[in-house]
Amino acid sequence: MSLLATRINRLINRIKILPLYCIPQHGLTALVYHLTRVEYKPWKNFLIKTFMQYFKVDMAAAIGSSEEDYPCFNAFFIRHLKPGARHLKQDEASILAPVDGAVSQIGTIDDDRLLQAKGIDYTLTRLLANDIEAVKCFQDGLFATLYLSPRDYHRIHMPVTGRLIKSIFVPGSLFPVNTFGVKNVDQIFARNERYISLFATELGLMAQIMVGAVCVGSMETVFAGQITPTKKRTIHIQAYNDENNALWLNQAEEFGHFNMGSTVILLFEKDKLSWLEDLQENKAIQVGQIIGKVAV
């Protein structure tokens, strides 16, 4: 494709995405939030069955395999899997995939820059809401951006064992984080609403970041409960400094879930680990799968 054709194609895509700047992102997401919790049987059965057929959801691994097994659409969406459906075994020498999904981007942080898509990057400083101490820890470290499609299992697990030391809720936009959105919205992961969890681990500081999106504005963790939606549209920082009541989450243990799907970003310090070489863009992954090895 010529340079002119590339520029024209990019311009067309920017025009296509303009409506996403105009729609009431939070209002639409709030509506979806309520509709997916309706327990009126004909309605919830219709939603679940239609969704399963349209997205070709594999229910073989789920505890409930039919729309009748769930009281509402959201209960289906955050479904639990059968014991043994995923290889959730602790391995101190490895980093485990925290989600089912696909690799959006993976690699090394270039000082303060992370790759969003080919030819597009964004800043670590903005992603971490100007937490300077955390930014310094992750400069030149490793990152992985993992996309959860609508059909995926939407519970998030721990890639390594860690002690929670800080959480940061960052209000923001709710642009879609699918391929089209990622390729056409500048700094999308640093603009969208997100919840940053910082853990002290054997590998130094680790961040697990939940990124919201349109119709995906509800996030929960096992330690904080429902984080969004919320009427508080300001940055909220929660420190966990009491070592006598330290909150530890073990590797492979459940961390939280999206009520509807989105993206998880992992950050690790420099020289602590290496990603497996076959983890390329669009590579499918399953929770518990080994995605990295601890540096020796």
Active site residues: 100, 157, 262
d(CA 264, CA 266): 7
Report yes or no: 285 and 231 within 8 Å, Cβ to Cβ.
no
Instruction: State both tokens at 13.
Output: 């895509």
| Radius of gyration, alpha carbons of the chain | 19
Could you tell me which residues come within 8 angstroms of residue 53 by beta carbon, excluding any fewer than 6 positions away? none
Closest CA to 146 of 216, 98, 107, 78: 98
Distance of CA 40 to the CA centre of its chain: 30
Beta strands in 93-171 (DSSP E): 94-96, 101-108, 113-117, 120-123, 142-147, 155-157, 162-170
CB atoms within 10 A of CB 174: 24
Burial class (CB in 10 A: 0-12, 13-18, 19+), 218: buried
Cis peptide before 229 (omega within 30 of 0): yes
Instruction: State both tokens at 118.
Output: 């080919």
